[in-house]
Chains A and B, each alone.
Chain A
Amino acid sequence: MNERVAITGVGIVSPCGLKKETFWANLKRGESFIDEIKRFDASLYPSRIAGQVHELDHYTHLSGRLIKKIDVFSHMGLVASEQALKDAKVDLENIDKKRVGVFMGNAIGGWLFAETELRDMYIEGREGISPYMASAWFPAAPQGQITIYYGFKGYSKTIVADKASSALSIWYAAKIIAQGKNDLILAGGMEAPVTPYALLSANTCGNLSKNNLNYKKAYKPYDLYRDGFVLGEGSGVVTLEKESCANKRGVPIYGFIKGIGFSSDGYDSVRYRPNSDELEYAIESCLTDAGWEKDSIDYICLDGEGTVIGDYLETQALKNVFKEKISEISLSAPKSMFGNLLGAQTAVDLIATVLSMKNSIVLPTINYQMNDPYCDLDYTPNKAISREINKALIIARGRGGINVVLAVEKK
């Protein structure tokens, strides 16, 4: 990329806060925001815990007329987008809307709306289904709703790539900004998997923690007794623009998107290839793309899937790429506090990372108690630490091995 792509605004809807201030204050404390699922009867699900957003209606700026037309994942995306635009002080009256785009990542679509309406269709017949169903459920719905809400007409896209969806949407957006096709892009993702059917599907893949009784401590990446990750719901959105545009507008810059590495395992639809070659390739190519030396990295925001194999492979990849230098890099998986938000996860990781840069704090990996001899790195266990962070990587892995690594820098 020729000119750097700047992050100028952030918007967050997460289990640990619906404003960046609350989100950050809660993460810093290193507490768990995982809870039992109570909004429907989940008692027979193998994993029935999640990081949930309870106060969306309290924080919303949308009319009831619009809310009833959209699924909750679009609602979360619209709230996060509004925050990001305000945070970046975007002048919606005077911006050229033909050059503003929306790039979102989503893995599963809007099931709360779909489940309810399909049930009504089978019970009441054709007349029972809401006409909004057709435009509410599919993964690109939030992108559409955001563009309609603000009248943005620039090049836009939705990317579906499991837990790496928003990593790719952010990268794609950064490329479009760097190429000068758009002036401003809302980039990120949203996910609402805490619905009866979506939770069932997520359970089927078998990577969720079943530690329902001790739910606050269930998601424990890299710990010897880890048994999978915990689902989360929410949305993360950032505004991206050229560094020169941000400077011209006189707005503060959180950081810059510097590069990406990508690879696929090409192995199985769910499982990772049982070696770390492809993830290593993704990390290496991200470093090359960013033009960074291995010893210049301060922090890596980890994928931390919390499965026996996932955490082992990630640890192996880091050791193989960075060798002995890995001990000088801070590592952590803040998502252990609020769950993995699937298609929205990397956007949330990016926001957590730029806030870590701003505050010179490395967020912890919580619930880490027992050392695993095969996962023997320093994952910043349980307590945040102080550290200047200038260069950071964010790792995202989708099921079956979609490996994406983002490079982010502060200065």
Chain B
Amino acid sequence: MDVKGQIVEVISSTLDVGKDELKDGQNLYDSIGVDSTEMVEVVVVLNKHFGIKIETNEVTKFTIIEEIVDIVNKKKQG
């Protein structure tokens, strides 16, 4: 699965939302009404899943999916 697919999978299983609710070009607040505590959990799980270290202020509820993909890719490259 590509990085974006994995991110969608992580968010959907972490927050118990449908994958189809996470729309392209939309941030998580607009698409699924995510709150700041949920974002902390998403970041923790993303870090575990990809073995990376994103800070909680790097990915917020206003970050769109594609930006999250970029951030994860950059962190993976080190």
Contact = CB atoms under 8 A, between A and B. Distances in A.
B37 A69 contact: yes
B54 interface: no
B41 A63 contact: no
Chief secondary structure at chain B's binding surface: helix
Interface string A129-151: 01110110000000000000000
B41 A131 contact: yes
Given A131-B37, A132-B37, A65 B44 contact: no
Interface residues on A, range: 10 to 19
B17 A65 contact: yes
A127 interface: yes
Nearest to B48: A127
Chief secondary structure at chain A's binding surface: loop
A163 B40 CA distance: 36
B16 A135 contact: no
A290 B22 CA distance: 56
A68 interface: yes
A135 B41 CA distance: 13
B16 A132 contact: no
Contacts of B17: 65
Interface residues on B, range: under 10
A175 B46 CA distance: 49
Interface in A49-70: 63-65, 68-69
Contact of B40 (A63, A65, A131): A131
Contacts of B44: 127, 131
A130 B45 CA distance: 11
B37 A65 contact: no
Contacts of B37: 69, 131-132, 134-135
Contacts of B71: none
A69 B16 CA distance: 11
B15 interface: yes
A65 B16 contact: yes
B76 to A, nearest CB: 19
B16 A130 contact: no
Contacts of A132: 37, 41
Contacts of B41: 130-132
Interface in A30-62: none
Nearest to A65: B16
A121 to B, nearest CB: 13
Interface string A361-395: 00000000000000000000000000000000000
Contacts of B40: 131
A131 B16 CA distance: 16
Q: Of residues A63, A64, A65, A135, which shows the largest number of chain B Cβ atoms within 10 Å of its Cβ?
A: A65
Contacts of A135: 37
Contacts of A130: 41
20 contacts: A63-B16, A64-B16, A65-B15, A65-B16, A65-B17, A68-B16, A69-B37, A69-B38, A127-B44, A127-B48, A130-B41, A131-B37, A131-B38, A131-B40, A131-B41, A131-B44, A132-B37, A132-B41, A134-B37, A135-B37
Given A127-B44, A131-B38, A135-B37, 15 more contacts: A63-B16, A64-B16, A65-B15, A65-B17, A68-B16, A69-B37, A69-B38, A130-B41, A131-B37, A131-B40, A131-B41, A131-B44, A132-B37, A132-B41, A134-B37
Per CB-CB distance, the 3 closest pairs between chain A and chain B, nearest first, are A131-B40, A65-B16, A64-B16
